[in-house]
Amino acid sequence: MHRLILMRHAEAEARPPVGGEDRDRPLSARGLSEAARMGQELAARGFRPDLALVSGAVRTRQTWEQVQDALGDVEVRVQDHLYDAPAETLRQEIELNEEEAGCVLVLAHNPGIHQLAVDYLIESAASPTILDRFAGGFPTSGCAVFQVDAAGRPSYEGWLTPASLG
How many distinct helices (H) and strands (E) make up the chain?
5, 6
**161: closest CA among 16, 35, 28, 24?**
35
Quick one: what percent of the chain has pLDDT higher than 70? Answer: 100
Whole-number pLDDT of residue 154? 93
How do residues 120-146 score in pLDDT, each as one tens digit? 999 999 999 999 999 989 999 999 999
Domain ranges of the chain: 3-165
Fold category of 3-165 in CATH: Rossmann fold (3.40.50)
Residue 31: pLDDT band with limits 50, 70, 90: very high
Residue 116: pLDDT band with limits 50, 70, 90: very high
Rounded-to-integer distance, Cα 112 and Cα 69, Å: 26
How do residues 69-83 score in pLDDT, each as one tens digit? 999 999 999 999 999
